[in-house]
């Protein structure tokens, strides 16, 4: 297999301590004959972490990559001339995956992005190859909808486990699922969402209901519970988890990982969930698809207090029940991801903050969404030199 001279896939890994997961993903690629010269790894971390060892790992594996702690990110903002937008990526938050999106946008060689969480390992399948084949998919695939406008991505085995993933609205439970088929044209799939075995991605309330105080859940998911890949019908939403995800460059304007954790309302843990809601709305407006199913990853979430997670999620639980409704009819005439996203940002900025607990956070998010688009505009005007 010939090697590429330029990487076209940016792999973003937010990590503090489990960066060795990168080794498993590189080994998976090589075992399946995937050309690792296509990959550039961007490890997003903090100043107190083992950045030197992270760089050594990438060097030992013989793959392209960079390590960005807080100081290196500030330097990068200055190099790009966007110091005024450093606030859009919160420090010490899972939402700092947004930095990887900025890095991609500044380097136009990257046609595809991949998000990987550091507490995961690839399944037995060709991880990168399967994601790219999903993004290139054309033909017939199962389509799913419900009478609540929400699809549980674990719906194929709910009779066995009864699980709903993190971010799924409580008001949309007990839905009636309807399945059909959709014909997908080449280029219509813009996101490939892989699901997970072992520890399910649940919120703290659901973990407590499952009888687990260590943040993991007693009930586990298995590979045979994910029989079919699927897309979700227009007008329906799904939880989008960024632990195992690939996407086309074009979606970046509408895929900002929302500013969580470091805010006066203490709202956290919904960065990828809300970003998925907004991206699904943009996809519906533009006639694009989020393809969900395989490749699977093994999620090995470390034990931690379920009550700590509950504390971090509680401030946003009510907002999560309503935020999707606020954008459900936004930007109906948009002809681009930028226009769709700006329309949704406007909808949040004009929402009635007094109607919800911590409702002011909606205006905060809307303002940051506008800043995100403005930041991308600045990067487009002064792109970085591609790192070959």
The CA distance from 378 to 166, in Å, is 34
Confidence label for 177 from pLDDT (cuts 50, 70 and 90):
very high
pLDDT score, position 3? 59
Binned at pLDDT 50, 70 and 90, residue 91 comes out as confident
Alpha helices in the chain (DSSP H): 21-31, 51-61, 70-80, 97-106, 127-135, 158-161, 204-209, 271-286, 306-327, 337-349, 360-381
Q: Give the pLDDT of residue 388.
A: 45
Averaged pLDDT of the chain: 95
pLDDT tens, 110-161?
999 999 999 999 998 999 999 999 999 999 999 999 999 999 999 999 999 9
State the Cα–Cα distance between residues 96 and 100, nearest whole angstrom.
8
Q: What is the pLDDT of residue 92?
A: 85
Could you say which DSSP state residue 265 is in? T
- Among 326, 373, 363, smallest CA distance to 98 is for 373
Q: At what angle do helices 360-381 and 306-327 cross, to 10 degrees?
A: 80
User: What pLDDT is recorded for position 151?
Assistant: 98
Whether residue 153 contacts residue 292, with contact meaning beta carbons closer than 8 Å, is answered with yes
**pLDDT tens track for 322-362:** 999 999 999 999 999 999 999 999 999 999 999 999 999 99
Q: Domain locations in the chain? A: 9-381
For the residues 182-209, what does the mean pLDDT come to?
97
- Eight-state DSSP code of residue 151: E
Share of the chain above pLDDT 70, in %: 97
Report the distance separating Cα 115 and Cα 43, nearest Å: 10
Which run of H or E residues covers position 261? Answer: none
Q: Averaged over 236-260, what is the pLDDT?
A: 97
Query: Residue 162 corresponds to which tokens in the numbers above?
Result: 């009864």
Q: Are 128 and 215 in contact (CB under 8 A)?
A: no
Mean pLDDT of 361-373: 98
Q: How confident is the model at residue 261 (pLDDT cuts 50, 70, 90)?
A: confident
pLDDT at 387 over 70: no
Q: What is the pLDDT of residues 93-120, one digit of tens each?
A: 889 999 999 999 999 999 999 999 999 9
Phi, psi of 32 (to 5 degrees): -100, 10
Q: For residue 160, is the peptide bond before it cis, meaning its omega torsion is within 30 degrees of 0?
A: no
Of 253, 242, 266, 290, give the one whose Cα is nearest residue 97.
242
- Residues 274-320: tens digit of each pLDDT: 999 999 999 999 999 999 999 999 999 999 999 999 999 999 999 99
């Amino acid at each position: 297999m010939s090697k590429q001279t330029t990487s076209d896939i940016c792999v973003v890994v937010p990590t503090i301590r489990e960066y060795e997961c990168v080794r498993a993903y590189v080994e998976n690629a090589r075992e399946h004959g995937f050309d690792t010269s296509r990959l550039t790894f961007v490890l997003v971390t903090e100043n107190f972490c083992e950045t030197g060892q992270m760089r050594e790992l990438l060097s030992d594996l013989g793959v392209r990559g960079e390590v960005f702690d807080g100081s290196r990110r500030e330097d990068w903002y200055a190099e790009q001339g966007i110091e005024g937008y450093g606030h859009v990526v919160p420090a010490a938050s899972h939402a700092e995956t947004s930095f990887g999106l900025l890095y991609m946008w500044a380097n136009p060689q990257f046609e595809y992005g991949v998000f990987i969480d550091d507490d995961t390992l690839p399944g037995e399948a060709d991880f990168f190859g399967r994601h790219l084949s999903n993004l290139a998919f054309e033909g017939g695939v199962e389509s799913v909808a419900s009478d609540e406008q929400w699809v549980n991505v674990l719906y194929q085995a709910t009779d066995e486990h009864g699980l709903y993933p993190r971010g799924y609205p409580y008001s949309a439970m007990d839905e009636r699922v309807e399945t059909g088929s959709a014909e997908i044209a080449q280029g219509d799939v813009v996101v490939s969402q892989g699901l997970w075995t072992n520890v399910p991605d649940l919120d703290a309330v659901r973990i407590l209901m499952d009888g687990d105080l260590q943040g993991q859940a007693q009930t586990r998911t298995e590979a045979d519970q994910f029989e079919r890949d699927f897309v979700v019908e227009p007008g329906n939403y799904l939880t989008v988890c960024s632990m195992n995800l690939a996407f086309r460059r074009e979606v970046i304007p509408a895929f900002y990982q929302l500013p969580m954790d470091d805010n006066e309302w203490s709202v956290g843990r919904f960065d990828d969930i809300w970003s998925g809601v907004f991206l699904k709305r943009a996809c519906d407006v533009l006639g694009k698809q989020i393809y969900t199913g395989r490749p699977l990853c093994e999620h090995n979430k470390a034990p931690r207090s379920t009550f700590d997670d509950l504390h971090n999620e509680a401030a946003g639980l009510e907002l999560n029940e309503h935020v999707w409704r606020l954008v459900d009819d936004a930007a109906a005439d948009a002809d681009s991801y930028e226009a769709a996203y700006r329309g949704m940002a406007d909808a949040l900025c004009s929402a009635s903050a007094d109607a919800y607990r911590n409702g002011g956070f909606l205006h905060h998010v809307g303002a940051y969404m506008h800043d995100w688009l403005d930041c991308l505009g600045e990067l487009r005007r002064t792109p970085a030199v591609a790192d070959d």
